[in-house]
Structure 1
């Protein structure tokens, strides 16, 4: 094997090292890393606190119902939207797509690209003041959950409420990462007018606050305005929310 000589210094190529790393040493390193991580998050409470401190985690809020043994859950929609729009790429896509569909509608007003271009939007109190308010809608659906462990293996019917921003591009809006959870409850509580009101009250209050005050995000120079468009769902989900059997 040829050696090189630079400024009188000979540097011969060395053969590959045959040194072995003991598996016990690797396991010890992994154990040390795991131990340090567990020291930081010794329990779920500390873990969630650190997520709130460093990752803007917002825990779900309990909603007390008529039955003291039952609760529903609500995730503040303002904080969810704010975290989504804190990403510069999301904000950029949102503004570009809003401008694109606005220009298309201006060129031909007979074409409707979203709720903003429909006749119902002309009566919307928020859109009447600011037609460029960002649209968001809610969607409701039901799922069946089964716990295979324990004596109670029955299926639990759960109703979930989601949100998404209408002005995101179609290819992005349909992805799971663009859909946020707003609330969930046992479907049976929606048959009670009292519990149905308790479940939707914090959601409605948050929606009204978002529409009235808007949001400030570091990725946008100014205040963002929002307008709630529709609550969508299949036939069964809409009947449950309406209190129909």
Structure 2
């Protein structure tokens, strides 16, 4: 842990998270050992059901080869996660509802390849709503705003409290889209150029104001070269 922090400049918060996961892994390993011991005791009891128990029959043990095999299986599972980028992505899709961005080819065949990337909004919203705490925040925020607007009709917290917003279904979510340009620089290799990229984001307007600007509530929708949208390219 010291090597990670000092040699690779890993932040303290990240080190704390890694430490927590290591301790959790060891606890899971302990549980596996206990399950194996129970399994061994059950088999031993079945094989010696006709014999009388001895004073040493209450002792538990696990074979050294079984221990080695179990540790090797855990090590293999841990290493498999980061063995290659494809395997890592597969694990993220399976366990963390990760949806890879969809590539959109903008150039014609035979021309220099120009692409954009798109993250479907509906997939992102499905992932957001897997968190019960977020759902509770959204529902409570909508309810509190409606109560305040009912008391004072001059108040307007979002689009749904305006003239046209009254027509929106109460079960709908308000999505706010916005766009920004960022500069990316590749410091490696002979082509040390700066690339200006256009980023499209969205956030749920029904998230409480104190949380809406947090990074975890700002979601990527699309990315492409800024020149494509500004008309300097013919696409």
| TM-score bracket, shorter-length normalisation | 0.5 to 0.7
What is the aligned-residue RMSD (CA, Å)? 2.4
Q: What is the CA–CA distance in structure 1 between the aligned matches of 2:73 and 2:93, rounded to whole Å? A: 26
- Tell me, yes or no, if structure 1 residue 53 matches structure 2 residue 94: yes
1:94 aligned residue (138, 146, 161): 138
The Cα offsets for residues 121-167 of structure 1, whole Å up to 9 and x where unpaired, read as 35xxxx62514522111111110111111111121101101111101
* Pairing 1:208-219 to 2, within 5 Å after superposition: none
TM-score by length of 1: 0.60
Q: What is the CA–CA distance in structure 2 between the aligned matches of 1:75 and 1:177, rounded to whole Å? A: 16
* Structure 1: unaligned runs, 5 residues or longer: 1-29, 196-245
TM-score by length of 2: 0.62
1:180 aligned residue (204, 214, 219): 219
Q: What is the CA–CA distance in structure 1 between the aligned matches of 2:104 and 2:91, rounded to whole Å? A: 24
Q: Give the match's secondary structure for 1:148.
A: coil
Q: How far did 1:32 drift?
A: 9.3
Q: What is the CA–CA distance in structure 1 between the aligned matches of 2:158 and 2:80, rounded to whole Å? A: 50
- 1:110 is aligned to 154
Q: Give the match's secondary structure for 2:145.
A: helix
Q: Give the match's secondary structure for 2:153.
A: coil
Q: What is the CA–CA distance in structure 2 between the aligned matches of 1:128 and 1:88, rounded to whole Å? A: 27
* Structure 2: unaligned runs, 5 residues or longer: 1-70
- Tell me, yes or no, if structure 1 residue 159 matches structure 2 residue 198: yes
Q: How far did 1:88 drift?
A: 0.8
Q: What is the CA–CA distance in structure 1 between the aligned matches of 2:102 and 2:226, rounded to whole Å? A: 18
The Cα offsets for residues 57-96 of structure 1, whole Å up to 9 and x where unpaired, read as 1000001102551100001111111111111111001000
- Gap change, CA 1:31 and 1:176, over 3 Å in 2: farther
Q: How far did 1:35 drift?
A: 5.5
Q: How far did 1:38 drift?
A: 2.2
Q: What is the CA–CA distance in structure 2 between the aligned matches of 1:140 and 1:90, rounded to whole Å? A: 24
- 1:5 is aligned to none
- 1:209 is aligned to none
Q: How far did 1:44 drift?
A: 1.2
- Gap change, CA 1:70 and 1:166, over 3 Å in 2: same
Conserved in 1, the CA contact under 8 Å of 2:182 and 2:197? yes
State the aligned residue count: 161
Q: What is the CA–CA distance in structure 1 between the aligned matches of 2:149 and 2:162, rounded to whole Å? A: 11
Q: Give the match's secondary structure for 1:134.
A: coil
- Gap change, CA 1:40 and 1:94, over 3 Å in 2: closer
- Tell me, yes or no, if structure 1 residue 43 matches structure 2 residue 87: no
Higher strand residue share: 1
- Tell me, yes or no, if structure 1 residue 141 matches structure 2 residue 146: no
